[in-house]
Structure 1
Amino acid sequence: MASQRRRSSALSSLILLSLLVAASAEVFFEERFDDGWENRWVKSDWKKDEKLAGEWNYTSGKWNGDPNDKGIQTSEDYRFYAISAEFPEFSNKDKTLVFQFSVKHEQKLDCGGGYMKLLSSGIDQKKFGGDTPYSIMFGPDICGYSTKKVHAIITYNETNHLIKKDVPCETDQLTHVYTFILRPDATYSILIDNVEKQSGSLYSDWSILPPKKIKDPEAKKPEDWDDKEYIPDPEDKKPEGYDDIPKEIPDPEAKKPEDWDDEEDGEWTAPTMANPEYKGPWKQKKIKNPNYKGKWKAPMIDNPDFKDDPDIYVYPSLKYVGIELWQVKSGTLFDNVLICDDPEYAKNLVEETWGKQKDAEKAAFDEEEKKKEEEESKDDPVDSDAEIEDDEDDADAEDDSDAEAKPEAHLADDTEESAHDEL
């Protein structure tokens, strides 16, 4: 009974803590794509006249952890997608800004984005597209073998600035949650599935402002500065006769052929072989330089071109959130979009949604993959040629040998094709 009371008390404390977190958080926008979501989102007419505007599906996907938890998914290949939602305009001045959403690439994405955008006031949602100015662009981008990263692009003075650090993204076909946190002290964090993957400062990790410190352009390396870490050993001398050792010598095992005719074939000479005594060109040994002072670096000074902006992190009129993509292969699903001022609230939302569903989603995906493999194995006519030949008259031994060779030929073809696909 006592243990039950303790568990009940702990659960009550956890619920109370969650309620307190929710009460203290200011949520500017939260979209779980439940009933009525179409009334909150505006599909853009961008690329519509060119018949290149893609349609969204309202779905939980082919595999999921909860069939009732739906999002919006790109449904047509080779299409542009643009959709946005409005929220009450606000400024993040003196506030922490949290931008979070989940994304799943069911199509095993080869090249395409899964990012979202925060936009400020003054846009036409029906014209929202690739040229529409945005304030923050955040989320995964995958293309080939080289691009598999999280975009974090900050707009400052109408110029887009890419993060300088590399933040790898997830590349599987399961749901993942991406979180961008921007604080009033101009520090940031990037999380994937509630795990911090990168952090730092707007000052150092984006080239938004000139650097605070620069190398002193007037500084010169002192003439007596010794930056050679190793020097030739003055005690090491080349052995006498070292240069006289030939690289090759006549092969002592070689013998003049019995049918060799000096008059007709010329004077016989033994073929040469590598000389085991030859050690290559002589090189003087090196030792640590006792006068080594290290690599010289110019001292850092205050950058005269640097002018601080304490509002470097501020967006005074955030009003929209949008998705704008080009997809060669469709199937990217977005859900659980959140804009708030409390990282703890965002963390709890991740656990409440993705955290509760991820294991069931993985199991559903594995089951789907298993079915696919079984179907492919049924359709694979691997040994059909061999079976036909086994049924035929095998009186001719030569024909039998040909039949044995054919499966090997099929294996070779399959291997070559697999290698080609890999490239």
Structure 2
Amino acid sequence: GRWEVEELKENAVPGDRGLVLKSVAKYHAISAMLTKAFVFDDKPLIVQYEVNFQKGIDCGGAYIKLLSSSNDLNLEYFFDKTPYTIMFGPDKCGEDYKLHFIFRHKNPKTGEYDEKHAERPDVDLKKFYLDKKTHLYTLVLKPDDTFEILIDQTVVSKGSLLENMIPPVNPSKEIEDPTDKKPDDWDERPKIPDPNAVKPDDWDEDEPARIEDPDAVKPEGWLDDEPQYVPDPNAKKPKDWDEEMDGEWEAPQIRNAKCEAAPGCGEWVRPMKNNPKYKGKWRAPMIDNPNYQGIWSPRKIPNPDYFEDLHPFKMTAISAIGLELWSMTSDIYFDNFIICSEKEVADRWAADSWGLKKLVASANEPGMFSQLVTAAEEHPWLWVLYILTLALPVGLSVLFCWPGKKSDEDIDFKKHDISKQITKGELKEETEELEDDELEDEKENEDTDEDGKMSKSVSACSLVKDMN
């Protein structure tokens, strides 16, 4: 496979370039020695790097391998069988989205190495692999035998090397005895047919499940002599038809046009119905098995291969880093690899590199309207939600703010309430009459309707206005 060093295709930081996998359906391998080997003792291991699936990802990986220290390590011959201590990073094929953390554990009894896989993260990884953005992947291994996996500086998985690896680091103390065999008379049946049950005398096993309906009547107009299909009268034998090679030519069959308007054609057959007398084959009812002994399992014996490694953090030292990948998608971008023991160093490294890329990408993000349109293109049902969201406030505004139709009472009130010239004496008399009316109304009904009060207020205001 081919590698290139180039800028990001989108949201590139000027002058910033990364390592890019360029080939499709090929194996790629590239590696480099560390300036100093990392020995697992009393300091944590922090591994961090950036990945951008610039074209998304169909099937392929973007994980790294931390290669084990050895006297015969030769990076010129780095390939898939080169021993590694840790494998970490994203991988995807089909709809299987993975984030690997695998370490090779040395069996203290046999000296052989076994791969231990961390449990899957309980998060949706899909968006990180398909959004075509640069993401930061971080693995933190601590001397207390715990680990953390982060994406974009957010923890997506954490656990213990002793408890959250598959298979477990330490084998079981006991195993099933491979020489133990189930006794021939061991009864694992929780239920058995009742041996005392007897088939009833009236149980007829010969009755069929379905019978012809004796009450069915042939529909009126049924065409007994007309076939359902007839040769196509418009069909013609092909010019290149060779009867010696192809046999006698026959026109293709089409539905009989006469049957379209009729209830049916051809020989009428009574429809079938469920047989009320059908009981099927008689079987004795099931009862609890008095001889039930449970599910048999072999006896346990001490595991001859048992060992206990209380500190699996003390792995084989690492002295190189490598990318050994196969991918069906090109233009996978890698950048800013760092291996260290201080979280502050890794965070500062991320801020100066990935943080800058994130700022550039955020500045180039499309506006809210463009994001809504893009989301609706992926999920068309969102258009309905958008329309309802816009229509609801408009409809409420029209309902409560649009002037209603004036009633005849309002029109009549306006006609009789036209202002006219009035003398001071007349005003005084009308005011006194109005006050008397108000006193009478209060005596008759203390709970005067609010509309009545409004009408009096309006009349009084009209008088005052006419005075002016």
User: 1:326, CA displacement in angstroms?
Assistant: 3.6
Letter in 1 for 2:20: T
3-state SS of 1:246 partner: coil
Q: 1:195 and 2:144 equivalent?
A: no
Per-residue Cα deviation, 1:351-399 (whole angstroms, up to 9, x for no partner): 89768976974784667xx69x99xx9xxxxxxxxxxxxxxxxxxxxxx
Give the total of aligned pairs.
Answer: 313
3-state SS of 2:51 partner: strand
In 2, distance between residues paired with 1:140 and 1:359? 23
Q: Which runs of 5+ in 2 are unaligned?
A: 225-266, 378-468
Partner of 2:303 in structure 1? Answer: 303
3-state SS of 1:305 partner: coil
Partner of 2:115 in structure 1? Answer: 161
Contact 2:46/2:346, CA 8 A, preserved across alignment: yes
Contact 1:73/1:333, CA 8 A, preserved across alignment: yes
User: 1:342, CA displacement in angstroms?
Assistant: 5.7
Q: 1:253 and 2:253 equivalent?
A: no
User: 1:132, CA displacement in angstroms?
Assistant: 3.7
Partner of 1:329 in structure 2? Answer: 329
Partner of 2:264 in structure 1? Answer: none
Partner of 2:58 in structure 1? Answer: 110
3-state SS of 2:84 partner: coil
Normalised by the length of structure 1, the TM-score is 0.56
Aligned with 2:67 (options 119, 144, 164)? 119
Letter in 2 for 1:213: E
In 2, distance between residues paired with 1:338 and 1:291? 66
Written as runs of structure 1 = structure 2, the 5 A alignment for 1:260-271 is: 271=270
Q: 1:153 to 1:259 in 2, by over 3 A?
A: closer
User: 1:246, CA displacement in angstroms?
Assistant: 2.2
In 1, distance between residues paired with 2:35 and 2:204? 84
Partner of 1:176 in structure 2? Answer: 135
Written as runs of structure 1 = structure 2, the 5 A alignment for 1:358-369 is: 361=361, 364=364
In 2, distance between residues paired with 1:284 and 1:175? 68
Per-residue Cα deviation, 1:70-93 (whole angstroms, up to 9, x for no partner): 462415233635142523223113
**Cα RMSD (Å) of the superposition?**
4.8
User: 1:318, CA displacement in angstroms?
Assistant: 2.1
Q: 1:132 to 1:259 in 2, by over 3 A?
A: closer
Contact 1:57/1:73, CA 8 A, preserved across alignment: yes
In 1, distance between residues paired with 2:198 and 2:216? 36
User: 1:293, CA displacement in angstroms?
Assistant: 6.5
Written as runs of structure 1 = structure 2, the 5 A alignment for 1:59-98 is: 59=8, 61-63=9-11, 67=13, 70=16, 72-74=18-20, 76-78=22-24, 80-98=28-46
In 1, distance between residues paired with 2:141 and 2:308? 18
In 2, distance between residues paired with 1:103 and 1:188? 21
In 2, distance between residues paired with 1:138 and 1:352? 23
User: 1:214, CA displacement in angstroms?
Assistant: 1.4
Which segment drifts farther, 124-133 or 332-341?
124-133
Between structure 1 and structure 2, the one with the greater Rg is 2
Contact 2:203/2:279, CA 8 A, preserved across alignment: no
Contact 2:89/2:100, CA 8 A, preserved across alignment: yes
Q: 1:160 to 1:303 in 2, by over 3 A?
A: closer
Contact 2:148/2:155, CA 8 A, preserved across alignment: no
Aligned with 1:215 (options 167, 176, 194)? 176
Contact 1:82/1:322, CA 8 A, preserved across alignment: yes
3-state SS of 2:22 partner: coil
Q: 1:132 to 1:304 in 2, by over 3 A?
A: closer
Contact 1:57/1:74, CA 8 A, preserved across alignment: yes
In 1, distance between residues paired with 2:363 and 2:282? 65
User: 1:347, CA displacement in angstroms?
Assistant: 7.4
| Fraction of identical pairs, as percent | 34
Letter in 2 for 1:154: F
Q: 1:125 to 1:304 in 2, by over 3 A?
A: closer
Partner of 2:426 in structure 1? Answer: none
